[in-house]
Amino acid sequence: MSDNVPIPFARPWITDGDRQAVLEVLNGHILTHGPQCKSFEQEFAEFLGGGHCVSVSSCMAALHLAYLHFGIGPGDEVIVPAQTHAATVHAVEWVGATPVFVDCDSRTGNLTAAAISSELTPRTKAISVVHFAGIACDMPPIVDLAQRHGLRIIEDCAIALGARHQGRHVALFGDAGCFSFYPVKHMTTGEGGMFVTRHEAVASAVARLRAFGVDRTHSERTVPGMYDVPSLGLNYRMSEIQAALGRSQLRRMPDVLTQRASLFNQYRTLLGDLPQVRLIDTDAPESRSSHYCVSAVFEGEYAGRRNDVVTKLNASGIGTSIYYPQPVPRMTYYRNKYGFLPGAHPQATRISDQSVALPLGMHMTGRDVDRVVAMLKQSLAETDSGKGTGR
Ligand SMILES: Cc1ncc(COP(=O)(O)O)c(C=O)c1O
């Protein structure tokens, strides 16, 4: 993009091939319960390198289905990160279980086995991990901890499509992995998500739960329209239109991951001379990030200047976001229900209050990254010299 063209924070990447895929579904007669969802589920598992997939209406739906399926409910505690999207925790609330918030690692924003283990009680039934900013959590010690205590692991992989630990895709370590295809994610179906499990029986049970609890799909019915409902269920299905778009997008994921990694590395190099701006990042050789966003945390004398810098970047046409704007336990619903002690989750709070997420995605070139970094440095220098307005 040229020097005065706005750089949005993110933009869905829709090609003619995507449009054609959607049109083909619309020109046919099957808009739901059809072959597109089946194929998307199979192709998604191939992309991950294993697992059984169930397409759903959103990541939140996948998370909700996971807790319902594993029978987690009132009286149970679930370990959740304090630094995440509200959806991670809402899913726990909707089944009536109690979220137990745990602070994150300062560098990666991820939960660690050590932090989790200090919050376990006899009522803990599950651990919810989020691969923050696309950085894979260090899963083996978390899996080990869960096995020793008989706990389920629900992985929130909403922003971690393509993230791997020791060569294995995230979502394939725990009992369930949940992905999002919201428009600004690595790939999109408009709204949509995927439930992933290593166990075929779990996948078929969740597939029934996702579709009213009916006992047979359209293709399994010998008499059209004839089915039974042996259990309670929801309607969390994905449509054929969405699945066709997802299949088309999924084919480009290798390019998406390469481009995101390259832009992220450029940011890392260019921001390397600013010790008071630290990227949420990892140098663990066994971890491959999906590079969902460039979350830059302002430290030291810059700590209180995030909002001024955001204002300046936005005024110059550079889009930004914040991942995530508050530690979840400080959000009004959770604060009112469980209370929030100041200082309770210092790293989650630091990331929420002192970070900005810079633009990253297929809509950008290396020149755009140069421009964002130059503008960021200029904004910091201006606030540094007293021209800022404070938070
Ligand atoms: C970590 C995380 N989990 C869950 C969600 C919710 O995803 P969806 O909109 O598909 O329900 C998001 C959305 O941004 C997210 O970032």
Could you tell me the residue ranges of all domains in the chain? 16-250, 253-384
Q: How far is the CA of 218 from the centre of ligand 1 (A)?
A: 30
**10-48 pLDDT, tens digit each:** 999 999 999 999 999 999 999 998 999 999 999 999 999
Rounded to whole angstroms, what are the CA distances from 139 to 31, 81, 155, 171, 328? 38, 15, 10, 10, 22
Give which of 206, 209, 207, 202 is closest to 234, Cα–Cα: 209
Taking the domain 16-250, which CATH number applies?
3.40.640.10
Determine the residue type at 345: H
CA 236 to chain centre: 18
- Measured between alpha carbons, how far is 109 from 296 in angstroms, rounded to an integer? 12
**How much is the pLDDT for 2?**
53
Cβ-Cβ contacts under 8 Å for 344 (sequence gap 6 or more): 82, 101, 103, 329
Strands 152-156 and 176-180, how do they pair? parallel
**How much is the pLDDT for 288?**
94
- Measured between alpha carbons, how far is 39 from 56 in angstroms, rounded to an integer? 14
Does 60 contact ligand 1 (Cβ within 6 A)?
Answer: yes
Residues in the chain with pLDDT < 70? 1-3, 385-391
Ligand 1 pocket test, pick from 180, 187, 328 with the greatest ligand atom count within 8 Å of Cβ, gives 180
**How much is the pLDDT for 221?**
84
Give which of 147, 95, 93 is closest to 120, Cα–Cα: 147
CA of 63, closest atom in ligand 1: 4
Burial class (CB in 10 A: 0-12, 13-18, 19+), 71: exposed
**How much is the pLDDT for 388?**
45
**How much is the pLDDT for 3?**
66
Q: How far is the CA of 187 from the centre of ligand 1 (A)?
A: 13
**How much is the pLDDT for 111?**
98
CA of 184, closest atom in ligand 1: 14
Determine the residue type at 44: F
Does 159 contact ligand 1 (Cβ within 6 A)?
Answer: yes
Does 87 contact ligand 1 (Cβ within 6 A)?
Answer: yes
CA of 62, closest atom in ligand 1: 11
Ligand 1 pocket test, pick from 110, 155, 159, 191 with the greatest ligand atom count within 8 Å of Cβ, gives 159
**How much is the pLDDT for 141?**
98
Cβ-Cβ contacts under 8 Å for 33 (sequence gap 6 or more): 217, 218, 237, 240
What is the CATH T-level fold of the domain 253-384, as seen in this structure? Answer: Aspartate Aminotransferase, domain 1 (3.90.1150)
Does 128 contact ligand 1 (Cβ within 6 A)?
Answer: no
* Ramachandran bin of 213, using left for φ above 0, alpha for ψ from -120 to 50, beta for the remaining angles: left
